[in-house]
């Protein structure tokens, strides 16, 4: 009787698929965290809007309830990295609470940066739970307007 699988099983195709799947996951969610608990991703990644203008790249991250002093903004390679922790100031115990959906804990978000930005002049401000990061472009990559002269 013939087997159900018409080919001989080897580990190579499975390893190939696993590496392709890992690469796909890193493309969408970024690389795994380094250090202790490297295989675990944070439970929450803040949502971001990324906008590019002629003069700068603007990144707006929703961080409701996060103290701006608790947010670490760094540039690692060609990526802007946001990390920090959303902390609970008090704990309330009630008898009839069945579900709590507010997140408390560490967060991490990585945003790839385009070429030509000036990472030495990054500015960050926070207002009403929104962190706005302005990354100016270097003058040589900004568009230059050329006047057109009419010949009479």
Question: Model confidence over 13-46: pLDDT tens digits?
Answer: 667 777 777 777 777 666 665 544 444 555 678 8
Is pTM beyond 0.85? Reply is no
- Examine the domain organization and report whether 19 and 37 are in the same domain: yes
Tokens of 143: 């568009």
Determine whether 126 is exposed, middle or buried from the number of CB atoms within 10 Å of its CB (0-12, 13-18, 19+): middle
Which domain range does residue 22 map to?
11-41
- Examine the domain organization and report whether 77 and 111 are in the same domain: yes
Tokens of 60: 């707006």
- Examine the domain organization and report whether 23 and 80 are in the same domain: no
**Are 112 and 135 in contact, with CB atoms under 8 Å apart?**
no
- Examine the domain organization and report whether 111 and 79 are in the same domain: yes
In order, the DSSP letters of 102-134 are ---EEEEEEEE--TTB-GGG-EEEEETTEEEEE
pLDDT at 37: 45
- Examine the domain organization and report whether 76 and 54 are in the same domain: yes
Mean pLDDT value of segment 85-94: 68
pLDDT at 18: 79
72 domain-assigned? yes
pLDDT at 60: 97
95 domain-assigned? no
pLDDT at 152: 77
Residue with the bigger pLDDT between 49 and 86: it is 49
Average pLDDT, the chain: 79
- Examine the domain organization and report whether 31 and 80 are in the same domain: no
Mean pLDDT value of segment 105-119: 89
Mean pLDDT value of segment 100-126: 87
pLDDT at 1: 47
């Amino acid at each position: 009787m013939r087997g159900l699988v018409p080919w001989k099983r080897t580990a190579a195709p499975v390893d190939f698929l696993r590496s392709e799947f890992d690469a796909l996951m890193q493309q969408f969610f970024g690389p795994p965290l380094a250090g202790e608990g490297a295989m675990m991703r944070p439970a929450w990644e803040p949502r971001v809007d990324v906008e590019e203008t002629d003069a700068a790249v603007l990144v707006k991250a929703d961080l409701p309830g996060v103290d701006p002093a608790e947010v670490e903004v760094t540039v690692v390679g060609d990526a802007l990295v946001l990390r920090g922790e959303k902390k609970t100031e008090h704990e309330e115990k009630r008898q009839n609470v069945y579900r709590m959906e507010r997140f408390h804990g560490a967060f991490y978000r990585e945003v790839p940066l385009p070429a030509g930005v000036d990472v030495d002049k990054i500015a960050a401000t926070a207002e009403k739970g929104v962190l706005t990061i302005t990354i100016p472009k270097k003058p040589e990559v900004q568009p230059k307007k050329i006047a057109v002269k009419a010949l009479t």
